[in-house]
Amino acid sequence: MKKLVPILTAVLLGTATACSSSSGGGDAGGPVELTIWHGQDDMAARSIEKLIASFNKTHPGIRVKSDSGGATADTMLPKVTAAFAAGTYPDIAYMYGSWGAALARSPKVPNLKKYLGGPAVGWDDFWPNTRQTATVSGKVIGFPAVVDDLTVLYNKKMLAKAGLKPPPPDWTWDDFRSYAARLTDAKTKMYGTTWAVSGGEETTWALWPLVWQRGGAILSPDNKKAAFNAAPGVQALTLLQQMAVQDKSVYLDSSPAEKGQKLFESGRLGLFLSGPWVLPDVQAAKIDYGIARLPGTNGDHQTVSGPDNWAVFDHGTRRVKAAAEFLTWLTQPQQQLVWMMDTGSLPTRRSIVKLPGYRDFVKKYPGIGIVTDNLADAKQIRPVTSKYPRVSAFVADAMASVMLGKSDPQSALNDAARKSDALLAVPGQ
């Protein structure tokens, strides 16, 4: 969820043409060699490398080489951008969905649409929001890699000690505020909940469901004007202001290392707005946790989802076709279930929940079924525009100012809207 460095979009466009290739890519008589930069670490890295090894054993015509590219998932875009300029870019890379619009504008990113037909791919089996994220203005830039959504993890022991029952399915944001206040104890440094104020997407993405649930939007339908400073956005940020400034029930996390998760793993955080990617760490910390759907507003429990992509880059038709074949295999239900069991990731396809092994997945990660079901509440995606990361950064600064008690919601959001409108007025996607 890191913010996009502003110059990267220009670099993507400015350097890509010089490196463009339409050749077949390598020796046409031998196996097609592909390089994938996965950017994963720990268990996720071991899992993807295990799957790649399995593919190589069963597909002698394609040889996939796993490489970190010297990048984490958070830093993959600048690494790939630099590699574009040097001509050393991979065939496939793990890319955050919010980077899709910037990637789609590059001629080094081919349109994979012609490779998606037929039952082998099962494109329509992917959740709609994952397909939307992989498709920018009709151009398919990759295959869905990961899908998640925002839910609430809670510490069962802390709730019980405070005399609180587990959150019910119909709980509201007022309930969330009440829970957080009762779970906070300044003397013992126990916190009700946490919120990142480090800037960018870590700060903003949990705000958007509160805005959507109130009938609001991030941008206008044509992506040319800010909409987040209307009444729904102000109401959403006012709630956070009340929790942070008045109730003092929010641990304001200004660290890029995301200390909020460490607080939850140490047993000092009651409610944690997060998703399935933290479950392996939470289980390793032996926290007795539960999972609840996101609180709602007037019965609306919309959540935010963060689909990511396996983006494909152009090293010639032969290698692009081989990359599509590998990703078709990698994203099939059987392979995805292996990845899910290893990492706690959610199913990217509807059909995965019908596999016999899905029951073992749910058993391994208690409460994960709630997170999967919650995908049905992921009805909207963040704007598909290369300018969104900078808009997100403007809003993040406004949120931090309000939650730190330095500004009021309307003024802060209006300031972010002015900056966003000026940016959005500049021609370009």
Q: State the pLDDT at residue 28.
A: 59
**Confidence tier at 99 by pLDDT (50, 70, 90):** confident
The answer on pLDDT for 1 being more than 50 is no
* C-beta separation of 127 from 350 below 8 A: yes
pLDDT averaged over every residue in the chain: 90
**Confidence tier at 257 by pLDDT (50, 70, 90):** low
Q: State the pLDDT at residue 276.
A: 85
CA 321 to centroid of chain Cα atoms: 27
Token pair 């990617």 in the structure block, residue: 277
Q: Do domains 7-148+306-377 and 151-304+387-424 have the same CATH topology?
A: yes
Which pLDDT tens digit goes with each residue over 218-240? 999 999 999 999 999 999 999 99
Which pLDDT tens digit goes with each residue over 101-117? 889 989 999 999 999 98
Tell me the chain's radius of gyration from C-alpha atoms. Answer: 22
* C-beta separation of 68 from 94 below 8 A: no
Q: Where are the domains of the chain?
A: 7-148+306-377, 151-304+387-424
- CA nearest to 84, candidates 62, 69, 67, 97: 69
**What is 151-304+387-424's CATH superfamily?**
Periplasmic binding protein-like II (3.40.190.10)
Residue 114 carries which side chain, given as an amino acid letter?
K
Instruction: For residue 414, give the 3-state DSSP assignment.
Output: helix
- Phi and psi angles of residue 229, each rounded to the nearest 5 degrees, phi first: -95, 10
- Phi and psi angles of residue 272, each rounded to the nearest 5 degrees, phi first: -130, 110
- Phi and psi angles of residue 279, each rounded to the nearest 5 degrees, phi first: -60, -45
| pTM summary value | 0.79
- Mean pLDDT over 409-417 rounds to 98
Which pLDDT tens digit goes with each residue over 364-410? 998 888 888 888 888 888 887 878 889 999 999 999 999 999 999 99
**What is 7-148+306-377's CATH superfamily?**
Periplasmic binding protein-like II (3.40.190.10)
* C-beta separation of 309 from 97 below 8 A: yes
pLDDT above 90 covers what percent of the chain?
A: 70
Which pLDDT tens digit goes with each residue over 118-149? 889 999 999 888 998 999 889 999 999 999 89
